[in-house]
Amino acid sequence: GFNDNTPSFPRASYMLTVAENTPVGDVIGSVTATDADSSVGPFAIGGLISYQILSGSSLFSVNQSTGAILVASPLDFEFILRPPSFFLSASNAKAVPVLSSSVEVSVTVTDVNDNAPTITSPSVINVTENMPLRSVLTTITATDRDFGDNARTRYYIVSSHIPPAPFILAAIRGTN
């Protein structure tokens, strides 16, 4: 006998999900291919599978012997323009002839609330002494680089140097 079977994946593609704050080196999933060539006997080398990323993403790596997929560089949801995907191969690289197959892996990176809002309106407001009650002094605006619920902002008056606080906020919620 000789190496006459191509390694095969049980799925046509893989979809994984990972939070953007997942540390580099963490395993986020795995793939497993099988090879009908025997993994015992004189031609055992044909049944051993080796994994590698062919193309697509430098954000992830694969353990060559186990198929475990790891975070290879820091993930930042706000800078990932589209869900990363890559092609991964399984081969019996030490056999003759070398046979391989590939599969696409798509990863959804989820947002976490990792960016603080930034106030973009003036921080100093001039007030005249005899302004009528409920006069609008300014509109406070803030932005947040996060998305969805993680980008919702709430506005509060944290302290006032003149008790009791002579100011109120007319609205306390916002979105970016």
> Which tens digit of pLDDT belongs to each residue from 104-129?
999 999 999 888 888 888 778 888 88
**56-82 pLDDT per residue, tens:** 778 999 999 999 999 999 999 988 878
Tell me how far apart the alpha carbons of residues 98 and 105 are, in angstroms, rounded to a whole number: 22
Average model confidence (pLDDT) for the chain?
83
pTM: 0.75
Residue 145 predicted with pLDDT over 60: yes
Q: Is the pLDDT assigned to residue 47 strictly greater than 60?
A: no
The sheet carrying 100-110 orders its strands as 13-19, 100-110, 85-91, 50-55
- pLDDT of residue 39 exceeding 80, the answer is no
Per the document, the length of the chain is 176
DSSP state of 46: G
Q: Which phi and psi angles does 140 have, rounded to 5°?
A: -90, 130
pLDDT at 27: 98
Write the DSSP symbol of residue 43: T
The predicted pLDDT at position 23 comes to 97
Percent of the chain's residues with pLDDT above 70: 86
The pLDDT value given to residue 162: 62
**What is the predicted pLDDT for the residue at 42?**
47
Q: Which residue has the tokens 């694969």?
A: 62
pLDDT at site 80: 86
| Model confidence at 163: pLDDT above 80 | no
What mean pLDDT is predicted for residues 19-34?
95
Give pLDDT, residue 43.
47
Largest CA distance in the chain: 98
Q: Please, which contacts does 165-172 make with residues 24 or more away whose CB atoms are closer than 8 Å?
A: 167/137, 169/140, 170/136
